[in-house]
Amino acid sequence: MAVVKVLMLVAVVVVVGVFSVDGKVEKEVTELGIGVKFKPERCELKAHKGDIVSVHYRGMLADGTEFYDSYSKGQPLDFKLGQGSVIKGWDQGILGMCVGERRKLKIPAKLAYGDQSIALSIPAGASLIFDTELVAVNGRTGPGPDDFVEDLIGDLPAEDLEFGDTITPF
């Protein structure tokens, strides 16, 4: 009998955790989920640990309630990647993005704000969903002339080049 009561309690907890108040079916986020919505054909600039990145985003609770939209404010968020200046889910989810790439990040509470509530908009223990777009890396929105030359030269050692050499692309 005690086993049946425990199983019923677990079933109630699971059902309550899966359905939101408005009846929409939700999936509880337990691990970081990264979905690539768009990636440029060529990844000219990629976000690395220590880079200053600019990211536009829409932040939502798991039930779809939006709590922030940088697009409507016209100002992306700038931060140093991998330094703990944003939630852990962002440091992990933005890493390796290309400028122009868009990702959906599903971040569990343990990689967001944990048991802290943030103002009135983010309750304690909330999993968060972010639609993100990497706008710039270290202030650059696209490749510069050095990147073009590097693409042409490839892995050719600099000591093999002499002034006046012609570089032919492959």
Q: What angle do CA 77, 117, 84 make, to 5 degrees?
A: 40
Q: Which residues pair with 131 in a beta bridge?
A: 58, 104
Q: What percent of the chain has pLDDT over 70?
A: 68
β-strands 52-61, 128-137: how paired? antiparallel
Over the stretch 31-50, which tens digit does the pLDDT of each residue have? 999 999 999 999 989 999 99
pLDDT averaged over every residue in the chain: 81
Examine the pLDDT at 2 and tell me if it is beyond 50: no
CATH 3.10.50.40, applies to 29-153: yes
Examine the pLDDT at 69 and tell me if it is beyond 50: yes
User: Closest Cα partner for 136 from 44, 66, 64?
Assistant: 44
**Rounded average pLDDT over 65-84:** 97
Examine the pLDDT at 82 and tell me if it is beyond 90: yes
Q: Which residues pair with 57 in a beta bridge?
A: 132
Domain ranges in the chain? 29-153
Whole-model pTM? 0.70
